[in-house]
Copies of this chain bind each other. A is one copy, B any other.
Amino acid sequence: MDHLPDIQGQTLNGSFVLTRVGITEVKKPVKIKRDGRTVTLIPTIDVFVDLPAQQKGSHMSRNIEAIDEVVDDLVRDPSPSLEDLCLKVGKLLLKRHDYAKRAEVQMVADYFLERSAPLGRKCLENYKLLARAMVYADGRSKREIGVEAVGMTACPCAMETAKNKMECSDDGPFMSHNQRNVGTLILEVSEGHEVEADVLIDIVESSMSSPTFQTLKRPDEAEVVIKAHTNPMFVEDVVRNMLSMLINKYGDLPDETRILARSVSEESIHKHNAFAERTTTLGVLKSPLDPDPTDELD
């Protein structure tokens, strides 16, 4: 069928550039090699390239071929991270779509780390990896390393009012409402800089009132509950804690490093959620007077 017209390759006049053309919701198991151990992840994958105004369509099957080639290659050429895998797929996408100036690849996957419950019991805890890469025809590239972790927050405000209501004058922890909190931390780093997803997970988890665990025997439960109530936090506090730890850990990254830090509290006393978020760059975050986000964001 060689003589078939290349429909996608047809030349158009007066048409529009497209920002992103590709495929979404692809699932495929991949093997990542971290710290000597091999981890199987099952990411959901989206890939895109841009499309010039004069080209009718993108060749969609080349997207899957690019993913497949990189995934098959992992046996010989293992990737240390999901974001590195995104980068490799992105580079191959640009090769296969020669009209494209930019490729974008994102992968989301369940991820597990061993944790210790308060009294030492080992638990395998569940997180999410949010990886992304942008690759440009001029050779530049960027990667996003992101994580999502679930922990617990206890409310400092309700603690104060409940204590007052029950006429307790003690300074210590007191009952409050507490709930699941979903924390998200994403860094967009330029080439040559490294950020470790496991460290970001540590930051998110330790930003909350307490991390949570799959297995808690009764004495562990007491520890988690008391810890959470000793560290009551608003969603605002959680985000600021993340930002603070991020500067400590990754303050040496370039000023233009983009940051998203988010905390969503699935409030136990409401049917809706509480939400706080900061989107900025590391440079702005580190400046002595953190400026008005209105200026920054519009």
Residues of A near any B CB (own CB < 8 A): 1, 4-5, 7-8, 15-29, 40, 42, 46, 48, 50-53, 56-58, 60-61, 64-65, 68, 101-102, 110, 112, 124-126, 134, 136-137, 150, 152, 155-158, 160-162, 164-166, 173-180, 210, 212-219, 221-226, 228-229, 234-237, 239-240, 243-244, 264, 266-280, 285, 290-294, 296-298
Contact = CB atoms under 8 A, between A and B. Distances in A.
Return the 10 tightest CB-CB contacts between A and B, nearest first: A40-B40, A161-B222, A175-B175, A165-B222, A19-B293, A158-B221, A101-B294, A26-B272, A57-B234, A20-B277
A289 to B, nearest CB: 8
A61 B19 contact: no
A101 B18 CA distance: 34
A270 B213 contact: yes
A18 B259 CA distance: 12
B278 A160 contact: no
Given A23-B275, A46-B275, 4 more contacts: A21-B276, A52-B292, A165-B222, A180-B266
B5 A160 contact: yes
A50 B272 contact: no
Nearest to A101: B294
Given A40-B29, A269-B213, A270-B213, A177 B19 contact: no
Contact of A226 (B1, B40, B165): B165
A219 B157 CA distance: 10
Contacts of A164: 1, 4, 222
Contacts of A296: 19
Contacts of A243: 16
A269 B165 contact: no
Contacts of A20: 275-277
Contacts of A234: 8, 56-57
Contact of A275 (B22, B64, B272, B290): B22
B271 A150 contact: yes
Given A18-B277, A101-B292, A157-B221, A125 B271 contact: yes
A274 B60 contact: yes
A225 B158 contact: yes
Nearest to A241: B16
B290 A16 contact: yes
Contacts of A18: 236, 239-240, 276-278, 293
A112 to B, nearest CB: 6
Contact of A56 (B5, B212, B236): B236
Given A165-B1, A270-B214, A158 B24 contact: no
Contacts of A228: 177, 268-269
B218 A19 contact: no
